[in-house]
Chain A
Amino acid sequence: MKIVSACVGVVVALLFLVLVVSEPDQDIVAKSPLLGQPAPSVASTTIDGEPFALERRKGSWVVLNFFNSTCVPCINEHDLLVEFAASELANANAAELYTIINDDSSDAVREFFTKNGGTWPKITDDNGTIAVAFGVARVPETWIIDPNGIVRLRITGELSAGLLTEQVNRLREEFVS
């Protein structure tokens, strides 16, 4: 009897300890097995029908934003992306911004961008092949890829003001190309 009570006591105490230390995960800069790895190959077309291949963007920093026009955080962060794109124009080593459409029709996306601005290319992703290749869990997600085609950063969830510029600048300094 005593052995049972002791065992149950220890198990419950350990369980309690685990529960106390566990916290909801809320990191904005997320983990991914792809960090530090070559980016998956991406070959698709823009909504205007032009071919797009990620491999051919080597030599410049690339920011991929996975997007759906009905997702509320995506809509919320859109102005920040427009701002970011504008500020990058002034930079000699400018990062290229691409929207990867996630589970949404081209028409809806075109309409959204006409209304809210943003002239960068929007890449179609039928069946979510690109999203799966990157391991995108829930839009919006923003990924930064360096000029050598190595994945450097994954941001999940809505961007906060200045975050993207800050991170891109930090990475540009860290990995001078």
Chain B
Amino acid sequence: MLASAGISGTIGRAFLLVGFIGAIFGAFAAVAGARRNDQQIIRLIPRFATLIFAAAVGAFAAMEYAMITRDFSLAYVQKVGSWSTPALYNFAAVWSALEGSILMWVLILAGYTMAVAIWVRKRMQDVIATWALGVMFIVCAFFFLVSYFPADPFALGPPGVLDGPGPNPLLQNHILVMFHPPILYLGYVGVTVPFAFAIAALITGRVGEGWLVATRRWSLFAWGFLTFGIALGSWWSYEVLGWSGVWAWDPVENASLLPWITGTAYIHSVLVQERRGMLRVWNISLLVATFSLTILGTFLTRSGVLNSVHAFSESGIGAWFLAMFAVVLVVSVGLIGWRGDKLRSPGVIDSPLSREAAFLANNVLFAIFAFVVLLGTVFPLIIEALQDRQIAVGAPFFNKLSMPIGLALLTLMAIAPVLPWRKASTETLRDRLFWPAWCGVAALVASLLLGSYGVAPLLTFTLGGVASGAALRQVVLATRRQGLRGLVGRANGGMIVHLGVILIAVSLGASNSFSKSQELSLVANVEAQFSGHTFELRDVVEVRDDRSISVKALVLVDGKKIYAPAITKYTRIGMNVGTPSVRTSLTTDIYLTLEPPVRQDSNEARIKVFIKPMIMWLWIGTALMAIGTVLAAFPGRRRKPTEPTSAPVEVAKS
């Protein structure tokens, strides 16, 4: 073991250096090849892509090797490694702190670069692809450099360390840490691809719709993984953090939400451009915004200017990301300005009552939403800069402002799917919205019968009803016409995604408004009651392993099954982590947490009980969104080239 000490560090650093040099060469090859249109040089590009991917895999493997063999010569292993961490969590420990997560970013980015290189191999004559790869190589070079210098995971630590504390306890008590970060990163890093193509389109001046259509699936892929990653994060929050919520609006969550918002705006407005050739500057700006928000988010959360629960330690990485953010913005804005004349949109929107106008409204709402989230996240920094005073902006602010935005978006989701392109009459609208509107009424009546109250949740349910009616109408009409093929394609898959979003909105509305909670002081074998359920403490037990001491309260719920909320003290870190225990059903979750202080030898325990309606539908909605995204990625019904693209869709005759 000692013989190998430091070896993986040296190898890892060598890989990073090779990757950096490969990326620089790749970038040069792409730029030179594209400018001279020299096929000989261009043919070399995929090799550079393979090289940097191999280097990234090598560096990541070296880190995993160091973590698995507990090579405590490395500072990073000293920080997050421990002999007592179980193998699975030890594997995930690699991405549990700043340096490792940047390394994972490098790996995924290099993977995307290689995938794009393979994908475009047959169309290498197209300079757009070459330029796009050039952009990706430059971004790769930046991340290899960050990983080599300020966020070096292979830096040597002080000698003589034989064991470490292990990863943050929150990152070693749920299997989701294996999946949530990589999946989120697949989305977060994936937005680099459409961004690179947007920049390439600007450079070549071929800002028409070709590159959009070409990168459609890359955008959808990245968006899908970003969505799924965020949803997994919410699930993790619910299962691990013990406050019974799914979204806390903390800066790290906001950093992942921001590119999602602009990305969602993009995948809507891109339809307008494909169909009508409009909103070109806007779409490119959205891609630039999405990508630069990933960089900005990383700056905000990893540089220590905002300290969040996700608590990545401070490092010199901030200046690098800030510089990158500036470069991305200046270059993109400069290019957009330079190509301004070519970007001018040829078409106009005829009527405020049309599909494209609805998309425009959708984009305005998403832009405001992104603005609100960004403003709330950086507002403490603004106040500190202006007045040297500390303030906090948190969940109540975001909830208050995102609620009307969410309701407005639901309204759009209700109306937009039935709107034809170009122009609709109120007549058509009245006609097509008839049944969806009754769905809304039915949802309202049903929720009132179930005892709902309050304007906001009731509006959510009503609009959710109308919106799902509108989405179902589209799916039903499409499948009636085309059979199962009516389920695939952008419009139809998109409607499935909408149904998922509506389920999520409704379940958030219900669980935020109608949750109940109560702290109960339970005494062994005495039944306590809350909200129509009974809770009886059976025992308090202690479980020890070599990394933690865990105290569990065994609580019999409704006389049927025992649930065991726990508090675990991770002895090496000296941190207490609560583990909730949840009884899940389609209608209501009963969420139990054990409250400190606890003593294992006592026959009492303080339990907090949360009764939360409809949580299950969050996860069902997420699944629907994932299914819809996959369906949307399949090619839908092909429009014949002779068909006039801007005529109202046939669905009109219903």
B214 interface residue, CB < 8 Å from A?
no
Q: Which of B325, B374, B574 has the most CB of A within 10 A?
A: B574
Within 8 A of B (CB), among A52-88: 68, 70-72
- Chain B 314-351, CB-CB to A under 8 Å as 1, else 0, gives 10000000100110010001000000000000000000
Interface size on A, residues (CB 8 A): 20
Chain B residues within CB distance 8 Å of chain A: 281, 285, 299, 303-305, 307, 314, 322, 325-326, 329, 333, 374, 378, 381-382, 384-385, 390, 574
Pick out which of these stretches binds chain B: A19-27, A146-154, A165-173.
A19-27
**Contact yes or no, A18 B382, CB < 8 A:** yes
Q: Is A15 an interface residue (CB 8 A)?
A: yes
A102 vs B443: C-alpha distance when bound (angstroms): 51
The CA of A93 and the CA of B305, in the complex, are separated in Å by: 42
Known A9-B333, A24-B304, A72-B574; judge A18-B378 contact (CB<8 A).
yes
In the complex, what's the smallest C-beta–C-beta distance from A15 to chain B, in angstroms? 7
Determine the chain A residues whose CB is within 8 A of the CB of B299 once the complex forms.
19
A-B contact count (CB 8 A): 37
Q: How far is the CA of A9 from the CA of B314 in the complex (A)?
A: 29
Q: Which residues of A contact B378 (CB under 8 A)?
A: 15, 18-19
Which A residues lie within 8 Å of B382 (CB)? 18
Query: Does chain B have a CB within 8 A of A163?
Result: no
What residues of chain A lie closer than 8 Å to B325, measured between beta carbons? 16
Q: Is the CB of B385 within 8 A of A24?
A: no
Cross-chain contact of A24 among B285, B314, B574 (Cβ < 8 A): B314
Name the contact of B322 in the complex, choosing from A19, A25, A68, A70 (C-beta under 8 A): A19
User: Which residues in A have their C-beta under 8 angstroms from that of B329?
Assistant: 12
Interface of B is mostly: helix
Check B314 against A22 for contact (C-beta < 8 Å). no
**A-B complex: 6 closest residue pairs judged by Cβ atoms:** A70-B574, A24-B304, A22-B381, A22-B305, A18-B385, A21-B385
Could you tell me the distance in whole angstroms from the C-beta of A6 to the nearest C-beta in chain B?
A: 12
A-B contact pairs, 13 of them (CB 8 A): A9-B333, A15-B378, A18-B382, A19-B381, A22-B381, A22-B384, A23-B305, A24-B303, A24-B305, A24-B314, A31-B390, A70-B574, A72-B574
* Cβ-defined contact, A71 with B303, below 8 A: no
Q: Nearest chain A CB to B363's CB is how many angstroms away? A: 12
- A9 — which chain B residues lie within 8 A by C-beta? 333
Separation of A170 and B326 alpha carbons in the complex (Å): 45
**Known contacts A18-B381, A20-B322; 18 further A-B pairs (Cβ under 8 A):** A1-B281, A9-B333, A12-B329, A15-B374, A16-B325, A16-B326, A18-B382, A18-B385, A19-B305, A19-B322, A19-B381, A22-B305, A22-B384, A22-B385, A24-B307, A25-B390, A68-B574, A71-B574
